[in-house]
Chain A
Amino acid sequence: MNARIRKSTLLLAMLLPLAAMHAMATTATHPASAASAAEVQRGHYLTLAGDCEACHTAPGGKAYGGGLPVATPIGSIFSTNITPSRIDGIGAYTLQQFSNALRRGVRQDGKHLYPAMPYTAYAQLNDADVRALYAYFMHGVQPVDTRPSRTQLPFPFNIRASMAFWNVMFLDKRPFMPDPAKSAQWNRGAYLARGLTHCSTCHTPRNFLMAEKPSHALAGASLGTWFAPNITPDADSGIGNWSDQEIIDYLQRGSAPGKGQAAGPMAEAIDHSLRHLTEADLAAIAVYLGSIPSRREPKATRAVDTWGRPYADLASIRGKPLPKNPDQMTGPQLYDAYCATCHQDRGQGSFDGGLPPLSHNTATGRRNTDNLVMVILDGIAWRTDGSGVRMPGFAPELSDRQVATLGTYLTQHFGDPAATVTVGQVRMLRAGGPSSNLVLLARIGLAIAIVILIAILVAIVRAWMRRRHRVLPSD
């Protein structure tokens, strides 16, 4: 569930070697203006769109009281209390200070936030919406006078100042500028998708400094465990073959029959956030997604959700005893034991699509099978919409070998036959993604960066000397 945040911590690891001078944020103080009920209400809607609660409310904790520990390879990052408590929350923040945190990643005390907070996306917000959010957090949220545990990361990750340099390079401070050549619906969709709903945080791949690559916007990226797929309009690699209505259904209910269903961090985003948006806003997002540049995977041959067809070979295993060693169970035997109950004998799902078919399903049709493995291990659980466990997770029951056998069986018969699941892949995903030496890398990187900085300084001094040398004779 923390894959989205996890990605941000990778970013953190990469940028720290570029530690630079700490840019002090200047904070103009404005008294909180009296907010109208309508503004507070609009602010509430915007918090849902921004999915603030997902991180700032710990499971079982008070709303926006913070304290959600985000386990990362370098230690836990704790979300902050953003209730209007003056002592422990943001009750003493002025509008400007609130705006700085939201759109610049700078706290009241001038220190930088870790980029677990998606302020690069929120920077798109217009002033009116920032005011509405501020009104909601000041007047619509109950103060919680508890202070979450402090985030204490090891050196060099504890140097928050290093963010300033990265921000100079990668933080676009300009709020969203409507494009008069486009429709109002497109502009609304672009504003939401680039800003509050921060789609790119997961779906856009990042460069070596862990900043989003604008050239590959929404073209798909791994979060370490789950894979956030390509959602550009390419008909095969992206969602170009989805109707606007299918996109809306997906964002409202977590499922687009005949296409796919949300799991992992996307289910979480829909559960907490997207399903609360108005149909008009979801339609606007769909229109915007349909307009962005397409990115195509080099090896794509057909749409990921058009592979496979109902297939049954359960008759082939009837009357044959199960092997004593569970790792020797065959694909159909594993399918019979673990999958057929819900997905039915031919993988056709239920007649009404409530239990999804396995063919014509992005879970089996994608060449990258990480999500297939993840959903077998973790299942799908919704926390707030009442549907709860939509699919049980089998991590406790299935071995790495069994998941590999089963996953490959599923892609062979219901999905892209070229896609496979390996034992090593399952082991790695079960362990939480690729192992990381972030602390070591960061420290080595820091040393290299210092050498580079010195080299640059030397170069600048030399250049300056040369210019002086060139200029002097003409004096």
Chain B
Amino acid sequence: MTTSTSADIVVVGSGICGALAAYRLAQQGLSVLILEAGPRIDRARVVAAFRNSPRKSDWMSPYPFSPWAPQPDYSPKDNGYLIQAGPYRYPAEYIRVVGGTTWHWAAQAWRLVPSDVRIKTLYDVGVDWPMAYDELDAWYQQAEEILGVAGADNTGSPRKHPFPMQPVAEPWSMRRFRERLAPAYPVVANTVARNSRSYDGRPACVGNNSCQPICPVNAQYLGINAVESAEAAGARVVPNAVVYRIEPDAKGRIVAVHYYDPNKKSYRAAGKEFILAANGIESPKLLLLSASDRFPNGIANSSGMVGRNLMDHPSSSLTFYADEEVWLGRGPQSPSSINTMRDGAFRSRHAAYRLDFTNISQVLSVTEALIAEGVYGAEFEKQLRWRAARQVNVKNVLEVLPHPENRITLASEKDALGIPKPEAHYSIDDYTRRGADVSKKDFARIAQMMGGTGLRYSPDGQFANNQHITGTLGMGDDPAKFVTDRFGRTHDHENLFCCGTGVMPTAATMNSTLTAVALALRTADHMHPPSRGKSSSAAGAEPSP
């Protein structure tokens, strides 16, 4: 039996992009319904679960797993939800709860650099974006004011207006990197959505150093803040609503989505317009799931491009001991980076990259290493103190180019509700690998300048994944090559829009959230332009000191 509900706008997915699009539209007086597959969770219980977890470095461990809304998990072993078709493993992680995956992000909120949207024209690689960088400035600014973003001025991303706040105080470790690597490498504050002062009713960071998996004090903007804003503006959130089919009419307009509750009872949510914002894996999965006689390739897939051009940011890294005590772990986890390799003529030959320094406390990893080495007793304590004070790590964040064969498809395996699991087809091309090779020279030089000993490079050809799921719903003007148009509207369905990192045509070198949020706000404003005189500006900020 089917139960019905309806709204002007139905948003599928309650992550930061869907929720902020919903917020914008609810502010316009539209009725907005947000459907979220996972449950609603409470920050403090995540904090308590994290403190109680024996697996502190597993950032999925404090989050609940819901059989009706499964999420990939690889620790202690792969739970088999995201099927790996190869040839390279793509162990993407995301959280299916109200608020989405930013629950455990590190709040890096970067803009693109202007060349990122023109790499085909400038370097004859990848594709150009269907918009200029300047067109994004206003939405970037609004996104930054909502999220409360701070950063350095010299990261390669021009801006017309200042950041809404100053960066969080520089940790000692990052100061030492900055001082010792200058002038060869300018180490600057990362651009992050983390409060250096009380902002929009949220407190300043107090340096718990657990940004991932959970900011315990709400100093870092999360999707749940966006959800709460949307609700305050009138949007309604239905948790545990697993959308499994998008229903078009004969003309191709979308008329409803169908969802299951945890007991597989089916519901139908009708609407005038629809926003698909279920991330770069679940969104294309849902489009593909919705195949019918009329749309045999799935919804929005006349081009056959749904799920294709999957991208992320692979990283290789170097861990070593500095010749002085820097004590990583004070302040936020990702405070600083080097941005000089985000653009240049070299991009015609190899991947651009950022160099990122971790500031995660090394006590846990050093402890595990010492136990594995069989060190105990007084020597253990001595070694722990010495290594935890000196162990540092630098990693690259490598650009990946769009390739149609890197894609999300439907697996033959099904989840607990009988919905096909997603399957990842992924590879890392030579362009990206060449970038990794070049960055290795930077690693060596940085280690040398820090008096590094005990150098441990990540093995050649092995990359960590950064969970910046990009592509799969790419924006472009040509309906034969792209899923969505320049405003995120699907080429095939005039009232179906996509928000999220999936719409980004290329991945560039920055964490993808801020760009996706800016695009989501832009999509919402395109759907229903804010009325003149009515403020569409960001959440009210408190006065500066």
Which A residues are closer than 8 A to B by beta carbons? 314, 317-322, 326, 333, 336-338, 340-342, 350, 355, 381, 383-392, 397
Contacts and interface: CB of A to CB of B under 8 A. Distances in A.
Given A350-B206, A355-B206, 15 more contacts: A318-B52, A322-B52, A336-B47, A336-B48, A336-B51, A341-B208, A342-B217, A381-B201, A386-B545, A387-B198, A388-B198, A392-B203, A397-B42, A397-B43, A397-B44
Contacts of B545: 385-387
B52 A317 contact: yes
B201 A389 contact: yes
B542 A388 contact: yes
B49 interface: yes
B203 A388 contact: yes
A337 B47 contact: yes
Contacts of B201: 381, 389
Of residues A320, A341, A350, A385, which shows the largest number of chain B Cβ atoms within 10 Å of its Cβ? A341
Which 6 residue pairs of A and B lie closest in terms of their CB atoms, listed nearest first? A388-B198, A386-B545, A337-B44, A341-B216, A337-B48, A389-B203
A58 B197 CA distance: 23
Contacts of B204: 388-389
A322 B51 CA distance: 12
A350 B49 CA distance: 23
27 contacts: A314-B51, A318-B52, A320-B52, A321-B52, A322-B45, A322-B52, A337-B45, A337-B48, A338-B44, A341-B208, A341-B216, A341-B217, A381-B198, A381-B201, A383-B542, A386-B197, A386-B544, A387-B545, A388-B197, A388-B199, A389-B202, A389-B203, A390-B198, A390-B203, A392-B217, A392-B218, A397-B44
A322 B48 contact: yes
Counting chain B residues whose Cβ lies within 8 A of the other chain, the interface size class is 20 to 34
Contacts of A383: 542
A341 B47 contact: yes
Contacts of A322: 45, 48-49, 52
Nearest to A333: B48
A318 B50 CA distance: 11
Contacts of B218: 392
Contacts of B533: none
Interface string B198-221: 110111101010000000111000
B543 interface: yes
A342 B52 contact: no
Contacts of B197: 386-388
Interface of B is mostly: loop
Given A319-B52, A322-B49, A341-B208, A389 B198 contact: yes
A390 B543 CA distance: 15
Nearest to B43: A397
A144 B543 CA distance: 21
Contacts of A333: 48
Contacts of A384: 543
A336 B44 CA distance: 8
A384 B202 CA distance: 15
B538 to A, nearest CB: 16
Contact of A342 (B51, B202, B206): B206
Nearest to A355: B206
A420 B208 CA distance: 30
A383 B541 CA distance: 11
A385 B48 CA distance: 32
A397 B52 CA distance: 20
Contacts of A391: 203
Nearest to A379: B203
A379 to B, nearest CB: 9
A341 B45 CA distance: 13
A392 B225 CA distance: 14
Nearest to A339: B44
Contacts of B198: 381, 386-390
Nearest to A342: B206
A384 B544 CA distance: 9
Contacts of B203: 388-392
B388 to A, nearest CB: 19
Nearest to B545: A386
Nearest to B49: A322
A392 B219 CA distance: 10
B146 to A, nearest CB: 17
Contacts of B51: 314, 318, 336, 340
B45 to A, nearest CB: 6
A363 to B, nearest CB: 18
Nearest to B201: A389
Interface in B146-173: none
Contacts of B202: 389, 392
A357 to B, nearest CB: 15
Contacts of A350: 206
A10 to B, nearest CB: 30
Contacts of A319: 52
Contacts of B52: 317-322, 336
Contacts of A387: 197-198, 545
Nearest to B202: A389
Contacts of A321: 52
B71 to A, nearest CB: 20
Nearest to A332: B48
A393 to B, nearest CB: 9
Contacts of A318: 51-52
Nearest to B544: A386
A362 B201 CA distance: 25
A386 B42 CA distance: 28
A326 B45 CA distance: 9
Contacts of B542: 383, 388
Interface string B27-55: 00000000000000011110111011000
A387 to B, nearest CB: 6
Q: Which of B49, B51, B202, B544 is packed against the most chain A CB atoms within 10 Å?
A: B51
A310 to B, nearest CB: 18
A333 B216 CA distance: 14
B501 to A, nearest CB: 30
A424 to B, nearest CB: 24
Contacts of B44: 337-338, 397
A387 B203 CA distance: 9
A184 B35 CA distance: 69
Contacts of B217: 341-342, 392
A390 B219 CA distance: 12
A355 B207 CA distance: 12
Nearest to B216: A341
A56 to B, nearest CB: 18
B300 to A, nearest CB: 38
B214 to A, nearest CB: 10
Contacts of A314: 51
Nearest to A60: B540
Nearest to B208: A341
B181 to A, nearest CB: 30
Contacts of A342: 206, 217
A326 B199 contact: no
A362 to B, nearest CB: 22
Nearest to B210: A341
A326 B545 CA distance: 38
B225 to A, nearest CB: 12
A387 B47 CA distance: 24
A341 B206 contact: yes
Interface string B329-368: 0000000000000000000000000000000000000000
A374 to B, nearest CB: 18
A319 B49 CA distance: 10
Contacts of B206: 341-342, 350, 355
Contacts of A336: 47-48, 51-52
Contacts of A320: 52
Nearest to B199: A388
Nearest to A320: B52
A3 B481 CA distance: 63
Contacts of A317: 52
A355 B204 CA distance: 12
A383 B43 CA distance: 25
